[in-house]
Structure 1
Amino acid sequence: MARIGDRDGVDIFVGARIGLRRSALGLSQTALAQQLGISFQQVQKYETGQNRISASRLHRAATVLGTSVESFFPPVETAAGRSDDGWSGLRAITASVDGRAVAAGFPLIEDREVRRAVARVVRALARDD
């Protein structure tokens, strides 16, 4: 992953995944910060990739958020240079507050047909016609 200014692309990706998981669970940055023993401002800095999160704190965050540490990282490219293209879409959607809200809310829509309809609307709005 490329560097963006002084920030590493992996740090940004990890932070965005933390924020996405936190939002999906309905936790505020303050609530997560309290469970990690840090300030909510530090959580903000992690989620934007402004600050790197240490391995021990990342492990604690994964425990608090009920997921694995690996779930926060992008796939490792193979020797052939291929990785899962779905991750680029995830990076794009988690790059904005609105995208994270959509990503967090989508799995909470219980009706399968409603989810399909929302997906059709998003695809239609995203077309470059």
Structure 2
Amino acid sequence: MSRRSCHIDQAVGLRIAARRSALGLSQTALARELGISFQQVQKYETGANRVSASRLHQAATALGCSVADFFPARPSSAAEVDLVHPVLTSAEGRGLAEAFARIADAGARRALTRVAQAMAGA
């Protein structure tokens, strides 16, 4: 198998980014916990670099979750990762996702989705 990252590496990185963001931690703060540079955290979160098993365990401990939480319940496709990647790798996307998750009313969530789709020309 190639040492280059694949869509599973990207999916794991996105879940690390989502958990870190949900806890309100910066990449710098997580990097400090892991004893690495924030640039390395960026590379993990984008899937540019693979996360070793020991580093993944360290990240799970630092983020208060299990290693399994970083993996999809079912195998994710490259298309699914491509769809989620821009949302979780931008501050605006993470803010939108976090706000969307806090909307309790299902009708309001559907309305917001329709607005976003209309703005995107979908």
Shorter-normalised TM range: 0.7 to 0.9
Superposed CA RMSD? 2.8
1:57-96 equivalences in 2 (<5 Å): 57-77=55-75, 88=80, 92-96=83-87
Matched residue, 2:116: 125
Identity of aligned pairs, percent? 50
- Judging by fraction of residues, say which structure has more helix: 2
Matched residue, 1:27: 25
Gaps of at least 5 residues in structure 2 are none
**Which residue of 98, 102, 125 corresponds with 2:96?**
102
Deviation of residue 62 (structure 1)? 0.8
In 2, are the aligned partners of 1:36 and 1:60 still within 8 Å (CA)? yes
- Supply the distance in 1 between the matched residues of 2:82 and 2:51 (Cα, whole angstroms): 18
Gaps of at least 5 residues in structure 1 are 78-82
Amino acid at match of 2:37: S
- Report which structure shows greater RCO (CA 8 Å, sep ≥6): 2
Question: Matched residue pairs, number?
Answer: 114
TM-score (ref. length: structure 1): 0.71
- Supply the distance in 1 between the matched residues of 2:61 and 2:49 (Cα, whole angstroms): 20
- Supply the distance in 2 between the matched residues of 1:28 and 1:76 (Cα, whole angstroms): 28
